[in-house]
Amino acid sequence: MARVLILDATYEKMREAVDAVFERFPLDVAGKTVLLKPNMVGMYEPETHANTHPAVITALVERLRQDGATVTVGDNPGTSGYGAVEKSARISGLMEASLGAFENIARESRRVKLIGHDVEVNISRKVLETDVLISVPKFKTHVMTRNTGAIKNSYGFLVGGDKARLHLAYPRYPVFSEMVTEVYRLRVPDLIVMDAVVGIQGNGPQNKFLYHAGKLMASDNGVAMDSVMSRMMGMKPETIRSIEYAHELGLGPIAAEEIEVEGDASRLKRFRRPVPSIPQRFSGTWIMAFFPDIGRPRFDVDEYVCTSCRSCADICPAGAITVEKKGAPEYDYEKCIACYCCMELCPQTALHLHETFRTRLYRRLGYM
């Protein structure tokens, strides 16, 4: 039976929590290579909680070295451009937290076919060659995929422009979520340690709505982990396509009675869920051909904090954004495929979903 452990934890005493994880999930790592795969979305400082917190990585590196492992810490952030990986690692604190184990895993990649699909992707060689893979996601919501836990963390296996390429090729929410799961399936993690000390709620994966859950979670199964996380967030796991699809593929259980939980997995009080994404349900369907505006998000730009860095334009897989010198981004919504990458990767958090009557109503009702 898949197991999920939920511990009370703080960043200050993270090593104690990590030691408790290894007591319940002992791993034989002596003399082996271990890859720690944090959720390093981009160039965000630790206080934003957009990335896995550095304290979790330091505690894991220390513990694994003590157990005799050769540890590497690495991820492929969504941010593109020369030096983006190192810069993301420095700003997020993950470089320093890795105690010399951080590596740019984008440097060497292999082209592999997604199982059962005629789709090839480039993934970090390290992911395929490591003896032990430990996924270290963050407890976060996601406006497109509903939440981003163990399964979605594996999307960072993809190197370079492949993340954007899959977004463009599979813009609809359900199919894109299936592709995310297919990437997860390329190398299922041996252990998942989730940073749920401070998570993100509402329209994640990156915003100012932090949620202090005070937990460190661990599991030997990513589907079980994401199912428990979803219930804690107030969402049914079977309504989240990445989890449902992973279950259909036989990668793990969804039903509560098939998961052994140790710790308090009750629904978090006043946790804001993401607004069910109408744009993602309709984008790429025939409905969009007749009613193109129904499926497109609109973004508001906070011009006071935008630095005209062009990250949003560079990352947009559809080429829908232009940024003039010293200007704010301008959107060509007819090209937008509603992937939300611009909002996710703006280093200044300057992009926000435009409030509609529906989102205002949901917020009033305490739903988001």
**Phi, psi of 156, rounded to the nearest 5 degrees:** -75, 0
Binding of residue 101 to ligand SF4 (CB under 6 A): no
Question: Site for ligand SF4 (CB under 6 A): which residue of 105, 320, 353, 368?
Answer: 320
**Smallest gap from residue 147 Cβ to ligand SF4 (A):** 18
Question: Site for ligand SF4 (CB under 6 A): which residue of 7, 34, 198, 336?
Answer: 336
Instruction: Output the six-digit token pair for 138.
Output: 């963050």
Task: Please name which of 266, 246, 70, 60 lies closest in space to residue 150, comparing C-alpha atoms.
Answer: 246
**Smallest gap from residue 60 Cβ to ligand SF4 (A):** 31
Nearer to ligand SF4, 26 or 333 (CB): 333
How many whole angstroms separate alpha carbon 269 and alpha carbon 124?
Answer: 39
Residues 6+ apart with CB under 8 A from 293: 333
Binding of residue 173 to ligand SF4 (CB under 6 A): no
Nearer to ligand SF4, 14 or 341 (CB): 341
Nearer to ligand SF4, 267 or 335 (CB): 335
Q: Per CB under 6 A, which region of 15-23, 111-119, 150-158, 307-315 contacts ligand SF4?
A: 307-315
**Phi, psi of 147, rounded to the nearest 5 degrees:** -150, 165
Residue with tokens 């590497």: 72
CB-based contact 141:204 (threshold 8 Å): yes
Count residues binding ligand SF4 (CB under 6 A). Answer: 27
Instruction: Output the six-digit token pair for 342.
Output: 């611009």
**Smallest gap from residue 230 Cβ to ligand SF4 (A):** 24
**Smallest gap from residue 85 Cβ to ligand SF4 (A):** 17
Chain CA centroid to CA 210, Å: 15
The CA angle 203-208-212, to the nearest 5 degrees, is 95
Contact set with ligand SF4 (CB under 6 A): 301, 306-312, 316-318, 320-321, 323, 329, 331, 336-342, 346, 348, 350-351
